[in-house]
Amino acid sequence: MTDIGVLIVNLGTPDAPDAPSVRRYLAEFLSDRRVVEIPPLLWQPILRGVILTTRPKQSAHAYKQVWTDEGSPLAAITRRQTEAMQAALGPDLRVAHAMRYGNPSIGATLDGLFAVGCRRILIAPLYPQYCAATTATVTDAVNRHLAGLRWQPSLRFLPPFPPIRFISGR
C-alpha cells in the first residue's frame, strides 16, 4: 500500500463509436467554457440545436473506422501508458489514468486513488504545452471534484513539457 499516486490525464474519447456516445462526449467537451469561449447564452442553442443533432452521427462513422477490439485508440494507448508507467515506477506508488472528457472520469479516478490510500497525488496532463483549452481544464476538473470533499489530498501538477529543441553544435 502506498500513499503516493500519479494520475495521468488525456483529452478523452466517446465510450463507443455510436451516435449517443459521441453526443454525450461532444456535449461535455463543447460545453467547457475554456474550450468554447462564446457566451453560453449564444453558444448553447447552437450546440444543442445544430451541432449535437447533426455531428454525432458523422463523427460516430469516423470513430468506427479507427475503433479496435480494445476500444478507441486513444483509450487503449492511454491504458498501455498507465500500465508501462506503473511497471517502470514499481509498487511504491499507484499510477492511474483518466480522461478529461468521457470515461474514466477524473473524479472517479481520484476517488479510486483515495480508496487505495493515496494521499499525495501528482496530476500529469498529457499535453506537452500549456493551453487553457487543455491543461487548464484538467486543473479545473480536479479542483471542482475536490471542492465537494471535506478531506483534501496533497496535490502537485506536472508542468508543461515542451519538446526539447536540439541545436547542432551544442
Flag whether pLDDT at 163 surpasses 90: no
Flag whether pLDDT at 100 surpasses 90: yes
| pLDDT tens digits, one per residue of 9-41 | 999 999 999 999 999 999 999 999 999 999 999
| pLDDT tens digits, one per residue of 32-74 | 999 999 999 999 999 999 999 999 999 999 999 999 999 999 9
- Angle, in degrees to the nearest 10, between helices 52-66 and 19-30: 110
Whether pTM exceeds 0.85: yes
Residue 67 CA to its chain's centroid (Å)? 18
User: Rounded distance, CA 118 to CA 52, Å?
Assistant: 38
User: Given CA atoms 50, 51, 52, 54 in this order, what sign does their dihedral have?
Assistant: positive
| pLDDT tens digits, one per residue of 103-147 | 999 999 999 999 999 999 999 999 888 889 999 999 999 999 999
Cβ atoms of residues 113 and 147 within 8 Å: no
| pLDDT tens digits, one per residue of 71-84 | 999 999 999 999 99
CA nearest to 14, candidates 46, 69, 77, 56: 56
- 166 band by pLDDT with thresholds 50, 70 and 90: low
Q: Which domains does the chain have, with CATH numbers?
A: 4-12+71-157 (3.40.50.1400), 14-66 (no CATH)
